[in-house]
Chain A
Amino acid sequence: MKRLPFFAPIILRLGFSAVFVWFGTTQILDPIAWTSYMPDFIVHITGLAASTLVVWNGIFEVTMAVLLVFGIWVRPVAALLFLHMCGIVASVGLDSIGVRDIAIATGLLAITLYGNDIISWHYIPPTPPESLTSKIITS
């Protein structure tokens, strides 16, 4: 039971990665189904077709998800996805989808604050305190 908390950040990270892999892949495969959620102002600013923007959004989400799932640059990647979700919430509004996206954004904020877990690619094991190290060496 004492080891259970170690799994919490891993499960959180893998779970959110799966969400973004699914959504990103779906957007790449069927962009037309997602064009209704692309804000008009982004279409006007970029001058690109809404479906093209959806594909690029999907590529971004899949790329971020792959980095997150392997634990590469966990903090910056989770922070980027958190900001991405904040943008989506602001665009969609506080309907049932928007509220669900707030939950996703909150989870990503938790990952951002936690950083690397024990099986993250960039995990650095904590070094023992200096006093303890010297004791081990002298003994």
Chain B
Amino acid sequence: MTINKKISLALGIIVIVVAGGTAIIQNMPSKQNSQIASVTTNQVTTNATTTTSTVAPDTYTLADIATHNNSSSCWTAINGSVYDVTTWINQHPGGQQAILSLCGTDGSAAFNGQHGGQSRPASELATFKIGTLVQ
């Protein structure tokens, strides 16, 4: 084996280990994520319970959504529906920042601008729906 092939082999293995290892580590289900999911579920339950006395179940105002404006609890309103996209932050193919920028806001314009007319993102988004937006 020539020296060039040895260098090629060594560099290739390094690239595969670093890039593949990073991907594996990033996709490992962490304890923190499961805790966040648990907290979010509890918050959804609590909010649904407290709001039933005043408004219809599973309806939220922009003020409600604004309280879920971080990576621990990320809600957004898109086209009149409310979504809890906390677990999607780390999974979004376009990067975390795109989702984090929507937390606690009406993300209709951003979503429609990026994915308007695409059926797959819309069906993916539908899985995160927790209610509807009221004024």
User: Interface readout for B20-61 with A: 1 if CB under 8 Å, 0 if not?
Assistant: 101110110000000000000000000000000000000000
Number of residues of chain A lying within 8 A (CB) of chain B: 36
Number of residues of chain B lying within 8 A (CB) of chain A: 28
User: Interface readout for A1-28 with B: 1 if CB under 8 Å, 0 if not?
Assistant: 0000000001000100111011101100
Main secondary structure of the interface of B (DSSP, over half): helix
Question: What's the count of A-B pairs with C-beta under 8 Å?
Answer: 84
B114 at the interface (CB under 8 A from A): yes
Cα A26 to Cα B95 in complex, Å, equals 13
* Contact between A121 and B8, CB atoms less than 8 A apart: yes
B109 at the interface (CB under 8 A from A): no
A52 at the interface (CB under 8 A from B): no
B63 at the interface (CB under 8 A from A): no
**Residues of chain B having any CB pair with chain A under 8 Å:** 4-5, 7-9, 11-12, 15-16, 18-20, 22-24, 26-27, 91-94, 114, 118-121, 123-124
Which 6 pairs across A and B sit closest by C-beta, in order of nearness?
A25-B23, A21-B19, A33-B91, A36-B120, A18-B19, A36-B124
